[in-house]
Amino acid sequence: MTTQPSKSVVIVVGGPAGTGKTTVSQALGEHFSCPVVEGDELHPQANVDKMSSGIPLTDEDRWGWLTELSQVASSKSVEGSNESKKAVVSCSMLKKVYRDHIKKSAVDGGSSIEFRFVFLYTTFEELLQRVGNRKDHFMKSDMVKSQFDIMEIPEGDELLENGGEAVAVNATGKSPEQINTEVIAALER
């Protein structure tokens, strides 16, 4: 009897701007010894220009970007040189339809890839404070409300503990180390 090889895994770290997606992504990349893709770097220039001007992205602005980041991350997870068979990617993935789109857009249609979604969230006030403290980033404080208003925190069947693919982590008042510990523990259960 032959054993079927285990699937590759793409861990998508998301949530509104200022929740710590990049920090958590880097920690996961180190923990799992796998490649990390910074989703913001894959935005087309038109999206960056729009956000830099304080204009929220529409769903239409996001589809191509979400497809690109799914394909880049899923390709990295299945690369022959990637012994961990994992890759981490950060992106806002604010709505369930975005998470579904990411899964459908993976290389080979995702048939050899499992997805895990880590959704970070916090209070609106904390998001404003965190984004306000950033320097040299296209996402400005005035854009936080649009992201906060449309976010759909995974719940019910979407959660890992209920057989789904997502982990929702409330980052309010927590240090990056506390958040990283909580995320890693949830993913390793």
What's the pLDDT tens digit per position in 140-172? 556 788 888 899 999 999 999 999 999 999 999
Report the C-alpha gap between 148 and 146 in whole angstroms. Answer: 6
138 within some domain? yes
pLDDT of 133 > 70? The answer is no
Q: Are 5 and 114 in contact (CB under 8 A)?
A: no
pLDDT of residue 139: 53
181 within some domain? yes
CATH number of the domain encompassing residue 118: 3.40.50.300
Residues 6 or more apart in contact with residue 178 via CB below 8 angstroms? none
Q: Are 142 and 17 in contact (CB under 8 A)?
A: no
3 within some domain? no
pLDDT of residue 4: 44
Domain residues for the domain of 168 are 8-188
Average pLDDT value for residue range 12-33: 93
What's the pLDDT tens digit per position in 66-77? 999 999 999 999
pLDDT-above-90 percentage for the chain: 65
Sign of the Cα pseudo-torsion (163, 180, 102, 188, in order): negative
Give alpha helix (H) positions in the chain. 21-32, 45-52, 59-78, 96-104, 124-132, 144-150, 176-188
Give the count of domains, the chain.
1
27 within some domain? yes
2 within some domain? no
